[in-house]
Amino acid sequence: MNSESAWTRTVVVAMLSVMGLGTLVLGAIGVVAVANNSGGGDSLTGTQVDVHLTEFAIELVPPAIPPGDVTFLVHNDGTVDHNFAIPSLGVRTANLKPGESETLVVRDLGEGDLPVLCEVAGHDAAGMKATLTVSSDIDPAAVAATVGTMTWQQMDAMMEAVAKKFPAKTEGSGNSELGYTTSADGFKVFDLTAKVISWEVEPGKFVDGWAYNGQIPAPIIRVTTGDKVRINLKNELPESTSLHLHGIRVPNAADGVDPYTQPAIKPGESFVYEFVAQESAVGMYHSHHN
């Protein structure tokens, strides 16, 4: 068995939506994924609305427009996948990777309040929703003046102001290393509890967060190749769950894909996952219950 003092420090940064994903480290591999920009879509028509998607908010510029044709220029300015949807009209973008953009054109938009949101699971509950006001009282000239009038100095100042918000001073913790006990039969035993918590996503803004051990992102489970690993998962969520060790080689019975490899873990129940750490890897753990 390798010495734990010889582990290589690995930092994996991932936002996952509202359910805190966990990291399982078996050695010393780090992965960075970079997505290319993409654009395209219909040509511009009518009123232009710039849509900025971030964690976890939708900014509409301008937020109020006159009726008629509308071109939505949708930009994913965040660090995870997002999309932009107008459910009442049945229109939406594809899931956009960080840095990607897409154009949506809506014809003959009538007056009223138009709810919009991100449809990636959990993102609307975390705050990714907004309302576009469509009113004949809005001056088209005033709307046009709000789009595309920034100088490069203003752009730089805005970018710097947003960047300096991180890391924001919020309550809670995440991604700390999870301790373990050693059982009489030689297993490293890790205890996890899935539970809904009050999660401060930005200063003063709290949402329901689906967490492991009260953390988002969830705690790191770190072991050495050759270790026998036992994970006890207790479900205190209001619905069933499971635990999938994504990217980690485990026996089928510990794969956490209900109802195929195990029954769903109902509220109030627990389940035990056991495996031997066979090879160096960095993975993550998450529910596989849909």
In three-state form (DSSP H/G/I as H, E/B as E, the rest C), the secondary structure along 69-83 is EEEEEEEECCCCCEC
Domains of the chain with bracketed CATH: 4-32+170-286 (2.60.40.420), 47-163 (2.60.40.420)
Query: Does residue 182 surpass a pLDDT of 70?
Result: yes
Q: Of residues 44 and 286, which shows the higher confidence score? A: 286
Closest residue by Cα to residue 245 from 22, 81, 19: 22
Closest CA to 228 of 26, 5, 51: 26
**If we measure between CA atoms, which residue out of 16, 13, 15, 12 comes closest to residue 29?**
12
**Phi, psi at 141, each rounded to 5°:** -65, -40
pLDDT band for position 243 (cuts 50, 70, 90): very high
How far is it, in rounded angstroms, from Cα 120 to Cα 103?
18
Percent of the chain with pLDDT over 70: 80
* 281/263 Cα distance (integer angstroms): 27
Degrees to nearest 5, angle at CA 277 with 272 and 283: 85
What pLDDT is attached to residue 159? 83
- Give the C-alpha separation, 240 to 107, whole Å: 42
Does residue 35 carry a pLDDT above 70? no
Give the full edge-to-edge strand order of the sheet including 101-109: 57-61, 47-54, 68-76, 101-109
Query: Could you give the 3-state DSSP secondary structure of residue 147?
Result: coil
8-state DSSP, 215 = B
Place of tokens 């490293």: 188
pTM (predicted TM-score): 0.52
pLDDT, tens only, 123-132: 999 999 999 9
Residue-level pLDDT at 161? 78
Per-residue H/E/C for 216-274: CCCCEEECCCCCEEEEEEEECCCCCECCEEECCCCCHHHCCCCCCCCCCECCCCEEEEE
User: What is the mean pLDDT of the segment spanning 210-230?
Assistant: 95
Of residues 290 and 212, more confidently modeled: 212
Torsional sign, CA 134, 136, 137, 139: positive
**Would you call 156 helix, strand, or coil by DSSP?**
helix
pLDDT digits (tens, 9 = 90+) for 131-157: 999 998 877 776 665 555 566 776 787
How much is the pLDDT for 145? 56
Query: 19 CB contacts (<8 Å, ≥6 apart)?
Result: 121, 122, 209, 210, 211, 216, 286, 287
For residue 237, name the pLDDT band (cuts at 50, 70, 90).
very high
Closest-CA residue to 285 (of 241, 228, 240): 241
Which residues does residue 194 pair with via DSSP β-bridges, in sequence order?
Answer: 212, 235
Q: What does the pLDDT average to over 193-204?
A: 91
Which has the closest alpha carbon to 10: 285, 280, 258, 290? 280
Task: Print burial letters for 20-38: b (CB count within 10 Å at least 16), e (below 16).
Answer: bbbbbbbbeeeeeeeeeee
